[in-house]
Amino acid sequence: MADLSKTYLFRMLHIKNVAHVQQYGITHSSSPIANPDYIPIGSGSLIGSRSQFRMPNGKTLGAYIPFYFGTRMPMLYVIQRGFNMVPAVPPEKIVYCVSTVQKIIDHNLPFIFTNGHAVDGFTSFFEEKDVENIDSLIDKNAILSKYWKQENDNDLKRRKEAEFLVAADIPPQAIVCWLVYNQAAKDELLHKGLNESLILVKPDHYFTP
């Protein structure tokens, strides 16, 4: 059985969103406690298409808050570099908000998860009842791979981008730590009042500028 307390979940945020998350948690855009000054990162067109994408359970992907199971995702590369009409964001302005599957369960938050990028036709969706078998349903080697292009594995990128999707607002108590690129980013979070013991400087979870 998987150790769900060590099955980590990672959500990338602009550092300016952290103060709101610290107070209210991670919220849906439609939540009554949503951040009115939320700064998005990533592809606006992809965010828009996800809001229309209907999953096997009949709900739209946009109704869920997405997490990855790992770091250094292809989308981070796009965000840092500013590809595909995505505004470039320097790594010190991108933080990882980290939770665990067990924390989501402890707070009775409904969820589903996938074994690949959610909008890919080859991806399978799994329900809460499947979570005890999560280690055999997602490809951790692909998720932890530093790169996502291999000559003999055209499906690696899809599997690396497996998702954990939460259908409710996530309270701040479900956050276990924050990962940042450098000391300057850590200092900015300390200035916002975050507990120093919860802030980890991890430049290896980013791409070199």
Instruction: List pLDDT tens digits, range 31-46.
Output: 999 999 999 997 666 6
Give pLDDT < 50 ranges for the chain: none
Cα angle at 129 between 124 and 135, to 5 degrees?
Answer: 60
pTM, entire model: 0.95
pLDDT for position 46: 63
